[in-house]
Amino acid sequence: MPADLPAVGALPNVPTSVDIYDTTLRDGSQLEGISLTVTDKLRIAEQLDRLGVHYIEGGWPGANPKDEEFFERARSELKLRNSKFVAFGSTRRAKGRVDEDQTLANLVGAGTETVCIVGKAWDYHVTEALQTSLDEGVAMVADSIEYLKGRGLEVFFDAEHFFDGYRNNPEFSLRVLEAAATAGADCLVLCDTNGGSLPHQVEQTVSEVVSYVDTAVGVHLHNDTGCGVANAMAGVRGGATQVQGTINGYGERVGNCDLVPIIANLSLKMGIETIPSEGILQLTSVSHHIAELVNFAVDPQQPYVGTSAFAHKAGLHTSAIARRPDAYEHVSPEHVGNGTRFLVSEMAGRSTIELKAAELGLDIAGEAVGDIVDTLKRLEHEGYHFEAADASLELLMRAASGWEHNLFEVESFKVVMGHRGGSSRAWNDMAVEVDTEAIVKLLVDGERKVGFGEGNGPVNALDTALRDVLAPKYPAIGAIALTDYKVRVLDTELGTGAMTRVLLDSTDGTSEWTTIGVSENIIEASWQALVDSLVYGLVHAE
């Protein structure tokens, strides 16, 4: 950890430690495009426990068959070592009895030590959404918490729409908190449910609430103004000792506050204890692992853990970092399990190439460095983009060091497409058949081999044909899979005669890499990227 952390004791109300409460499995799953299976939820919970968050909110028991199955399986399959499991629900119904309320019964039956219930803290919602009296709104909160505390549970109260309610009618919002605290709530969580508050408003409101109640105060914030993380920092400055959020900021609308930079900011910038130090070292890997589990692409520019978070492109930056690593990095990337990356482009100088070579473990010096710089600038002028194609860059630099792969040699390839039946338009009722065949001729160990492949397009057919030849000799190719294919037309004013850039993403199940091809012919560009991808994968497999 950094040695020059600022003292926080001088600021009023600022705690020395903050509990991290994760709601990725409930609030985070409400993000458009996320649909988690029960197994997904179990695997995410394991990652959160590995990180060391204090509380993992599992969802709403009894709300749907998926959550019912999840809580049932969690009891037998989920072995948490660092985190507490939390069941989420709401207060009793208006004018209902706590001992007859199914939601409260489900919370008790969930088998967790901790529960979190949500209740209205904005008078407008009590009278308009619940259509009941303010007195009944307060009683719903107090009765529910008292009932759950009577069952021996740790109870957190999420004061829904608190910040809006407090601005509109502070007397009622504080009355709700008083009732919750008197009933025994262990933490009063102030929710910015609509996500419209700004940092100065959050800090002032939390500070006033902390001065008003004796119970611990937390914050639950959304990112609708783009201030989710800043609001969390402001809430802690105001005295909050619990922060609720989600990994990678997943959540309804534009998302919840992102726990990843929140944990890093509190721990590394403010000197406030959050998760264990070994957990902070896992921030990058856990963030990326959970992104894969929810089937969302990792955000390369995510603070602290993104692949671009500590990436340096300009030659001035890289030459300075070569002498002083802290010259252009606000913290050491190793503190969060990330690393410095040197991007090689037409802006690269000798120092960039030397650093990149050292990063790859290549022995490149002298004239070879200058040759690589000149080659890169020429190729990028032609349309290559090596900072987005790490694998192709490595192969180019290996070749400059005198290395040549002896896996195979390409003699020729051919792609044949046949089209029968109609216009290919989806609204045309006429049946359409498209056949794609590829033939590749390679030299493997000096012996001429011919491979044949069929596919749903030229890239698929070429990939199949290459594997037809190479699989018997290199069984590791079976683990290599193409995961994404991107095409960009350069110099669009040339129309169909323009240069085409192809980026191909691949994986072997453990690591991922990107290769590039550029040509006036899209199939040739695809072939370049495809061959680089397989060569890179096989070289690293060996």
CA dihedral sign of residues 273, 278, 279, 280: positive
Residue whose token pair is 């999420």: 158
> Out of 60-74, 122-136, 316-330, 515-529, which region has the weakest mean confidence (pLDDT)?
316-330
- Separation of alpha carbons 206 and 178, rounded Å: 15
What percentage of the chain exceeds 70 in pLDDT?
Answer: 88
> Out of 126-140, 337-351, 488-502, which region has the weakest mean confidence (pLDDT)?
337-351
Pairing verdict, β 447-455 and 433-444: antiparallel
Amino acid at 138: V
- Separation of alpha carbons 265 and 538, rounded Å: 40
For residue 8, the model assigns a pLDDT of 47
**Other beta carbons less than 10 A from residue 378's beta carbon:** 11
The closest of 143, 78, 92, 148 to 116, measured between CA atoms, is 148
- Separation of alpha carbons 47 and 41, rounded Å: 10
Cβ(222)–Cβ(193) below 8 Å? yes
pLDDT tens digit string along 181-200?
999 999 999 999 999 999 99
Higher pLDDT, 352 or 124: 124
Band of residue 427 on the pLDDT scale cut at 50, 70, 90: low
Cα 404 to chain center, whole Å?
Answer: 37
Q: What is the dihedral of CA 518, 522, 528, 533, to 10 degrees?
A: 110
Q: Over 70: is that where the pLDDT of 235 sits?
A: yes
pTM: 0.71
Q: Which two tokens stand for residue 143?
A: 């009765």
The closest of 120, 114, 115 to 103, measured between CA atoms, is 115
Residues 3-8 have a mean pLDDT of 45
Beta strands in 187-235, from DSSP E residues, in sequence order: 187-192, 216-221
To the nearest 10 degrees (0 to 180), the angle between helices 65-77 and 38-51 is 50
- Separation of alpha carbons 155 and 115, rounded Å: 5
Pairing verdict, β 500-507 and 481-489: antiparallel
For residue 353, the model assigns a pLDDT of 75
Q: Which two tokens stand for residue 150?
A: 């009577």
Residues 341-349 have a mean pLDDT of 58
Q: Which two tokens stand for residue 82?
A: 């660092």
Across all residues in the chain, what is the average pLDDT? 87
Alpha helices in 362-457 (DSSP H): 367-382, 390-400
Pairing verdict, β 481-489 and 242-245: unpaired
Residues 59-84 have a mean pLDDT of 92
Q: Over 80: is that where the pLDDT of 69 sits?
A: yes
Residue whose token pair is 């473990």: 361
Residues 434-440 have a mean pLDDT of 87
Higher pLDDT, 297 or 240: 240
Residues 482-507 have a mean pLDDT of 79
For residue 500, the model assigns a pLDDT of 87
